[in-house]
Structure 1
């Protein structure tokens, strides 16, 4: 991954535009330790912001235009008129996130101001580490810095989510944007996605996070992700509810055989995942590694068997990490599914053993090339 910093991206801005930016801002990606597909069901998640970011160097213009350049897309550029009706362009990728954020900020009464912006990031794309949310939150910071306006961090997350839901076309929940905005150093964040309350959960000082990209690229804006959301909504509707958060596990289990099997399994994943997420937060806070390992493995099995979002390569990767950990490492798929990354949590002394096992065994067993990412729980954008 590209080595980036505020200073480096400022230099890149100057090289492209021919003058110095006034400042450079950033927003982090995230890894979700546990709580998958629970956020849009009003449930619990336990993510951590990570030390991989989207950076945006900015300088004001004297008109109502944004001139944006994206380092990660071979310095492609786009221009956005702040006063125009923003139109989605299916032929483009990253500019749609810009237009979506502009649209939502304008909807919320922000004036905004013109500027030159240079965007560069080292959050791996298509890995389930929220490169899109990192971009959205960085854009919100950058645009409001240009106009001298302020926003509450949770409101910023809601604006980013709305841009992705309403403009980009992915019905993601709030987790990714909220952890990018509000993450805390050396801590995960237990988020209640029903009321958006957050509670920092400190990680033991000698524990580390290892993220392994499976080499199977995934995309969030696809039919499978949106289909899972629709299936969860259908299961909630069976109980006369708009969200699975309002359904008790006992209620669901009593409905087995009455609710169709697919909806039953989707709902069972969500309700049991909520319980596992709360248990994981308690285990993390207490430094209880055995309890954390147990719920991470159960989470992966539920994603595999009830939610059907893992892949054979991802399952193999989890097995390799668990076996190498020998009772000292929890591992599970992280992110929306169908590829992407696995996250492992273990004492720092165990991490090299996990990395060696992946390097020795994973490609040989699957034909996929892994990327090993040692990550730290980091501060959010606000």
Structure 2
């Protein structure tokens, strides 16, 4: 990781400076972890399936330094400079609502169980990953914390896959969201210029190059979502019921024919059908990307959105409108679909760079949220995964 102040983004510099002001000394470690956007493969991760996310160039940064008293002092610049102080040895309590303190305490508790050398620390957190938008701000926070704390502890044993698993376990145990591992693994293992095909059973990953001349456009509907409160856990239970109904360990192992033959109620059948067909679409999308077949990719993304809308029932009208507006502009040169857990959040589009101005104009003219707000548009690049290094920043 670069440590030259001229190369650090403003968010990182803000974390370093706030740390120095708060503690009177400079941090010794600076860590970052990206958010992610999922090209295709929604709700397949906790069904042991396949996903195709992209780590984006929006990050959470953590400036860190050691303490001698076994305490953790954390300051979150993005939360109106809210802070927290707790003993590293304490079992984290549950903070209602799954706030940032849950994530910090839970993530460090998971790491402490793995690293006996983990000691007290000072942390300042800052980031530019939009929250509540389906871009994995929580996974970004967890991986940045883990990389910072791991470096402070002098550990080199835990790799990205293990850190991703710890982050997932913390979210399950202390935040209350029974998420899969896609978000954390994408943040940990992302590669610049590539999507990442993830097998969520084996945790094998395969980088997939994004076609030259394409752009990632993320359009935020301004309809905020929360995983715990937005029926995410209910969908997981329904998927487990569908798998049990066909005698499969997970829906990864089920076929459409098995679902059709099973004695499932209509809702459970449709939940299962989305997962089975979405897994097929992920593999097909990987082949389309490698072949540079944007027409086929766009068709798969359109099918994915329809399945999320009709079978999994996790889209909302505002998101459906965004996807349709973008698809009208893109035509057969790319695709657009909802991305993230659902019930609001964002649409992802992969399209030729030359069409970006037209797409942005279409959103400006054709979309308003239920509150009358325009979409927030982010143009992103596929960036590298989480990392930590010395915080030798001057100025």
Alignment of 1:1-382 (within 5 A): 4-90=10-96, 93-150=99-156, 151-222=158-229, 224-255=231-262, 258-363=263-368, 367-382=372-387
Answer whether contact 2:221 2:369 (CA < 8 A) is retained.
no
Question: Residue 156 of structure 1: SS of its match in structure 2?
Answer: helix
Matched length: 378
Q: CA deviation at 1:365?
A: 8.8
Structure 1 pair 359–35 and aligned structure 2 pair: CA distance change class (3 A): same
In structure 2, C-alpha distance between the alignment counterparts of 1:375 and 1:219, rounded to whole Å: 23
Answer whether contact 1:164 1:171 (CA < 8 A) is retained.
yes
In structure 2, C-alpha distance between the alignment counterparts of 1:133 and 1:310, rounded to whole Å: 22
In structure 2, C-alpha distance between the alignment counterparts of 1:61 and 1:365, rounded to whole Å: 47
Report the TM-score when normalising by structure 2.
0.93
In structure 1, C-alpha distance between the alignment counterparts of 2:235 and 2:179, rounded to whole Å: 11
Question: Residue 231 of structure 2: SS of its match in structure 1?
Answer: helix
Answer whether contact 1:49 1:377 (CA < 8 A) is retained.
yes
In structure 2, C-alpha distance between the alignment counterparts of 1:24 and 1:366, rounded to whole Å: 39
Structure 1 pair 109–145 and aligned structure 2 pair: CA distance change class (3 A): closer
Structure 2, unmatched stretches of 5+, are 1-8, 388-395
Which stretch shifts more, 318-327 or 89-98? 89-98
Which stretch shifts more, 360-369 or 244-253? 360-369
Structure 1 pair 262–157 and aligned structure 2 pair: CA distance change class (3 A): same
Answer whether contact 1:328 1:350 (CA < 8 A) is retained.
no
Which stretch shifts more, 262-271 or 98-107? 98-107
Which whole-Å deviations, capped at 9, do the CAs of 1:34-91 have from their partners, x for residues lacking one? 0000000011000000000000001111221111000011111111211222222227
Q: CA deviation at 1:5?
A: 4.2
In structure 1, C-alpha distance between the alignment counterparts of 2:338 and 2:257, rounded to whole Å: 27
Q: CA deviation at 1:109?
A: 4.2
Answer whether contact 1:318 1:331 (CA < 8 A) is retained.
yes
Which whole-Å deviations, capped at 9, do the CAs of 1:195-229 have from their partners, x for residues lacking one? 11000000112111000000100011225000000
Structure 1 pair 351–81 and aligned structure 2 pair: CA distance change class (3 A): same
In structure 1, C-alpha distance between the alignment counterparts of 2:308 and 2:230, rounded to whole Å: 17
Which stretch shifts more, 55-64 or 339-348? 55-64
Structure 1 pair 112–364 and aligned structure 2 pair: CA distance change class (3 A): closer
Question: Residue 46 of structure 1: SS of its match in structure 2?
Answer: strand
CA RMSD, aligned part only? 1.5
Report the TM-score when normalising by structure 1.
0.96
Question: Residue 40 of structure 2: SS of its match in structure 1?
Answer: coil
Question: Residue 368 of structure 2: SS of its match in structure 1?
Answer: helix
Alignment partner, residue 393 of structure 2: none
Structure 1 pair 107–115 and aligned structure 2 pair: CA distance change class (3 A): closer
In structure 2, C-alpha distance between the alignment counterparts of 1:92 and 1:340, rounded to whole Å: 17
Answer whether contact 1:296 1:330 (CA < 8 A) is retained.
yes
The structure with higher relative contact order (CA 8 Å, sep 6+) is 2
